[in-house]
Amino acid sequence: MSSVEKQFVAAKETYAAMGVDVDKALAKLQSIPVSIHAWQGDDVIGFEDFTSALTGGCQVTGNYPGRARNADELRADLDVAMKLLPGTLKVGLQGHQVDKMFPGVDRDGFTIDNFSAWRDWAVARGIGMDIAPCYYSHPKLDHGFSLSHPDPAIREFWINHGIACRKIGEAFGKATGKACICNFWMPDGFKDTPADRYAYRQRMFDSLDKCFAYQADPKYLRDAVEPKLFGIGVESCTIGSNDFYLLYAQSHKKMMCFDTGHFHPTESIADKLSAIFSCGMDEVLLHVSRGVRWDSDHIIVLNDELLSLARESVAYDYVDKINFMLDFFDASVNRLAAWVVGARNLQKALLIGLLEPADAKQAEAKFDFTARLVAQETAKTLPWGAVWDYFCEKNNVPTDNNYLAVIRAYEKDVLLKR
């Protein structure tokens, strides 16, 4: 018996004494898909045949060597990262991370042919794919507006891009046998106080209806809409605000996306989950990121916010209604390490939630808040780390002490030569 197994057996006994079924928790963690965001690997630049500055509130800082310059390099990087991650995985794309471009075809004309190698790659690895239309970094993001722009021709371009990405996502779903989530986020808004918010939101509403007019098979494609408190250059008014999208999602039977970096630093996304599920929303998408003072998309760490989010996700048997996707981009560190650290931290947080003893809930049901506090604090020192190491070993991936060597070797052999 390995040292990891010995520590796991001891931890399992500790949890069993507190009424926790560790095997059940591990089986559940194994089944929860985590979608790895491809845009961490190319700094959200994409692979179109024109050069455009990052616009629409996207900003990547740092110049660490080895950025993926094309889809082949990005897939190679993802292959290495995914070999260091346990559990069930998907990969999410932005709508400009194409395999190939065709003469005269812009984003409004993309088809699965532009993404065929991604489809084949996913099928070969038995993973699902997600996609998001790319409403930024393009000349037709005029004055920072896309679906809400006053010019009907500009709106039509972006509407057609949204429809194209939904059809590509449906093709991904049919090929992989796993539903693709197509998430809509637009950066439209004003840097300073607008004179007419209403007209822009009316146009956004109408444009979204046209994007979703194509009836995709929900077995293969599910749609989400993502709000934002503010972004760079749109500090005074974001057209796609939380209020706008929450009502749109509920009235149009779309999935609400909560990005953990898109809200005020004192807001709790964890608290929102029970609120929306108790009011009848069937499913949500979580973009798991880390805002530092503002929407800066830092690599997620195992902090109180992440632990609270994961705990709320698993504590009430609605984890099956939640879709987890990473969403951060950092070019100040090794990009593969960013993926691996972030994904592992999300999985660790979910595991800690799944291993939570029931005594805190039981005490609360009796209004014994003293016992609840003691139970919550006691749970923080339980040996979940031994269970995590066993989960990694069971999935044939390195434990936390050992994966960095793999990344360093790949950096030396591949990334530094780009």
d(CA 383, CA 355): 10
Entry field: residues in the chain = 418
Would residue 184 count as lying in a domain?
A: yes
Domain with 234, as residue range(s), is: 32-356
Residue 243 belongs to a domain: yes
Let me know if residue 286 belongs to a domain. Answer: yes
- The answer as to whether 379 is a domain residue is no
**Does residue 216 fall inside a structural domain?**
yes
Does residue 389 lie in a domain region? no
How confident is the prediction along the chain (418 residues), in pLDDT tens digits per residue?
889 999 999 999 999 999 999 999 999 999 999 999 999 999 999 999 876 777 776 778 899 999 999 999 999 999 999 999 999 999 999 999 999 999 999 999 999 999 999 999 999 999 999 999 999 999 999 999 999 999 999 999 999 999 999 999 999 999 999 999 999 999 999 999 999 999 999 999 999 999 999 999 999 999 999 999 888 888 999 999 999 999 999 999 999 999 998 888 889 999 999 999 999 899 999 999 998 887 778 999 999 999 999 999 998 888 999 999 999 999 999 999 999 999 999 999 999 999 999 999 999 999 999 999 999 999 999 999 999 999 999 999 999 999 999 999 999 999 999 9
408 within some domain: no
- Residue 155 falls within a domain, yes or no? yes
Residues labelled catalytic: 185, 226, 228, 259, 262, 287, 295, 297, 327
CATH number of the domain to which 191 belongs: 3.20.20.150
- Tokens standing for 272? 């929102």
Paired tokens of 315: 């504590």
Per the structure, how many domains does the chain have? 1
